[in-house]
Copies of this chain bind each other. A is one copy, B any other.
Amino acid sequence: MEYKVKDINLAESGKLNIEWAERSMPVLRMLREKFSKEKPFSGITIGACLHVTKETAALVRTLKAGGAEVYLAASNPLSTQDDVAAALALEGIHVFAWRGESESEYFWAIEKVIEASPNIVLDDGADLHATIHEKHKDLAEEIIGGTEETTTGVIRLKAMENEGTLIYPIIAVNNSYTKYLFDNRYGTGQSTIDGILRATNVLLASKTVVVAGYGWCSRGIAMRARGMGARVIVTEVNPIRALEAYMDGFQVMKMEEAAKLGDIFITSTGNINVIGPEHFKLMKDGAILANAGHFNVEINVKVLYEMAKGKRKIRPNLVEYDLGDKKLYLIGEGRLVNLVAAEGHPSEVMDMSFSNQAMAAKYLLENGKSLERKVYKIPDEIDEEIARMKLKALGIEIDEMTEEQRRYVNSWRL
């Protein structure tokens, strides 16, 4: 069994954490039970590039239970939970991930997954897909299809589709309702707050929190920051989303105005250099910077470093940049604050996200051959089925339309 983790002796702690997560992942547990019997992935190799957390463990264990051989790399150099990685390695998952990978180690691990010549490729951020497309097009024939977990990754894959360079079909798991309406909003909202609190322990009540973006993730963050008593300012480039933020009672302005007012800045746009030198200059002494977007490019950390006269680590995941006239505080090197400084999304939402991943893998297996080299949403029936399973697991019963009602909504006559 080949693997590379920080310390295999952490496995016991990892095992307990996985068990803890799985308690709150009933849909995935139901799928696992089903897969265990049916073994849909027998003979199939699945390559995955995902945040190696206790919830991801629940997913890859489900795939393995379904018969798959699973290879797993981390989708972020700082997001791996080393105890979970160790536990997975012991269970026979080919995991190549540890917290604190260098850039080259990060891509080495991705190459290890590619080496296994996967039939199905699961990704979070599309670095694995991009690497295959840039360097390993020859593998295309083995690959039935891929999935993608994030908004950011889907944008990249759509760009590939538009360019005509996509070499296998993709299920955009992110675009499932049971994914982005829940994971992106309630997951990112809570886990981002969690990461900021663990890293700084500052009071959120009365703080001015600037949230860059008002997509599904960022509106989750704005909602929870307000829920903790903060005053929230939103910046956006999309006029419709800007208006939504405004009507939701948030102040909306350009970043160059917000920069002067914020106590805490949180980026979640999927774009580059959303906060840069022109903003650092305007910020108040003591401002705190965090990123909740997939890549560490939203805050221009490189320029921040260049502008600084000095840099000190204050606490775990908190570094002070001394700009002479003021000090700025960066959380987790500008990488995903919820995964670096906390534990990522709670299990309850990952249950749905990863049930989509598991179902997407199965769907690809069954339908991949007939799909074009495009980005697809998972079929609505599967999306709804996951919602129904979740409701059932929660003990929630909902109304069914009566026959009369079905007829009514399908008629138009006076």
Q: Which residues of A contact B (CB under 8 A)?
A: 13, 16-17, 19-20, 23-24, 126-127, 130-131, 133-134, 155-157, 159-160, 163, 177-178, 181-182, 185-187, 189-190, 193-194, 197-198, 200-206, 223-224, 226-231, 235-237, 239-240, 242-244, 246-255, 257, 270-274, 286, 297, 312-315, 318, 342-343, 346-349, 383-384, 387-388, 390-391, 394, 396-402, 404-405, 408-414
Contacts and interface: CB of A to CB of B under 8 A. Distances in A.
A398 B231 contact: no
A342 B396 contact: no
Nearest to A21: B201
Nearest to A246: B206
Given A197-B194, A235-B399, A247 B272 contact: no
A347 B181 contact: no
A229 B247 contact: yes
Nearest to A152: B409
A384 B239 contact: yes
Given A203-B348, A396-B253, A178 B243 contact: yes
Contacts of A126: 412
A148 to B, nearest CB: 11
Contacts of A20: 200, 314-315, 318
A391 B130 contact: no
A77 B251 CA distance: 40
Q: Which 6 A-B pairs have the closest CB atoms?
A: A227-B227, A203-B346, A156-B412, A239-B387, A203-B348, A272-B408
A414 B255 CA distance: 27
Contact of A414 (B17, B130, B257): B130
Contact of A231 (B159, B204, B251, B391): B251
Contact of A404 (B134, B178, B255, B272): B272
Most chain B beta-carbon contacts within 10 A, residue among A19, A133, A413 = A413
B414 A127 contact: yes
Contacts of A229: 186, 189-190, 223-224, 227, 247-249
Contacts of A273: 402, 404-405
Contact of A394 (B246, B286, B414): B246
Nearest to A163: B412
Query: How many copies of this kind of chain does the complex include?
Result: 4
Contacts of A178: 240, 243
Contacts of A23: 286
Nearest to A398: B242
Nearest to A156: B412
A126 to B, nearest CB: 7
Contacts of A198: 194, 198
Most chain B beta-carbon contacts within 10 A, residue among A182, A224, A249 = A249
B242 A387 contact: yes
B203 A159 contact: no
A248 B24 CA distance: 18
22 contacts: A17-B314, A23-B286, A163-B412, A181-B244, A186-B203, A186-B247, A194-B201, A201-B346, A203-B346, A203-B348, A223-B229, A224-B229, A228-B228, A237-B401, A239-B391, A242-B387, A243-B387, A243-B390, A252-B398, A254-B398, A257-B397, A273-B404
A298 B19 CA distance: 29
Contacts of A248: 205-206, 229
A254 B404 contact: no
Contacts of A312: 16
